[in-house]
Amino acid sequence: MSILDNIQNKQKTALLKVAEILRDTKGSGRALLVGGCVRDGLLGIPAKDIDIEVYGLDADAVEAALKPHFRLDTVGRAFGVFILKGLDIDIALPRRESRIGPKHTDFKVEGDPHMSPEEAASRRDFTINAISCDPLTGDMLDPYDGIPDLKARRLRHVSEAFSEDPLRVLRGMQFIARFDLTAAPETIALCRQLSPEHLPMERLWEEWKKLILKGQQIRKGLNFLKDCDWLQYFPELAALDGCEQEPQWHPEGDVWTHTGHCLDAYAAHRIGDEWEDLVVGFAVLCHDFGKPDTTYTDDNGRIRSPRHDVLGVPIAKTFLERLTRQKKIFEEVLPLVEQHMRPLALYRDGAGDSAIRRLAARVKRIDRLVRVAHADKNGR
């Protein structure tokens, strides 16, 4: 199967035209498909966003060649980046990036049209994202063995440059959850040396969103985070690990294990509405945050967590505040955490329509709560 088979016809036509135009510009241009669209194509997943890297031409030559044929967004031109408007196609020159400070913005960026594809790929995060494809010939460029890694479902960093952006740990988390990967031991060891200290919450949020919206095995992604010793940066999650539950109701094990199972159950029943899935997914992630502070063993040897639903709300809020300032997230996720036990209680009590209507008013949409309760039940 060709990489192009997984690209929409409109985009395919445009990218082939781009490659032909740049090939014929000064007789030295070469356009390569790079990154996620190549990875997804090899996995048979339809590509939405197309990234093209151009070799052998400077920014002036690329702009002059493409401007007569496409509507170009040149906002990123200073960094050698152009966007084909209306096509979800990004075109970039290879760049040299070097860290000059601790913050995520502390990078010196220099475009270099004469850089080789191999050298450019050395700056990428994981080998599965360092594969290139020539759309005109179909040739695959894989200098860091990303294709064998993809076939083996292995997540492996490309080089020591990986350490320059700690966000890559969270990228690894969501890639593992999305593509059922297993991290190489050397990659886990490198991740343990990194921290998210200087990362802005906006960047953290985007990776957590991808985990919740795209992860197929979310539990596996979270376990990667644990293996990398990154739970220390999310103490609300760390507290779940080792928090015991009553075996009669939770034979699967502790709250950490239960939460992972719940998230996988949620992922299997996403509805495809991004906002609804986001709200429900984060509610499932946070629904038992109150258990570590409320769990005890009673006189009969039974493990109990009274009022963990209500007392977990401020803890869930603290966790979410690490990731976002979106007021709507708090307004819609936290009531689901607080009320996640109510559907079962109402069912057991044979509650009438008025009780259900009151509950629906508290959580805004009763179907969300039903989905959270379903995930909770199927996480056992």
Q: What are the tens digits of pLDDT across the range 253-278? A: 999 999 999 999 999 999 999 999 99
pLDDT of residue 362: 85
pLDDT of residue 311: 97
pLDDT of 100 above 90:
no
> Which tokens sit at 164?
């320059």
pLDDT tens for 18-70 read 999 999 997 789 999 999 999 999 999 998 899 999 999 999 999 999 999 99
> Which tokens sit at 121?
């790929």
pLDDT of 16 above 80:
yes
Phi, psi of 295 (to 5 degrees): -80, 135
Q: What percent of the chain is modeled with pLDDT above 90?
A: 82
Torsion of Cα atoms, 263 then 267 then 273 then 279, to 10°: 0
- Could you count the other beta carbons within 10 Å of the beta carbon of residue 239? 18
pLDDT band at 380 (very low <50, low <70, confident <90, very high): confident
Find the mean pLDDT for residues 279-295.
Answer: 98
Half-sphere exposure of 125 (CA within 13 A, CB side): 17
pLDDT of residue 276: 97
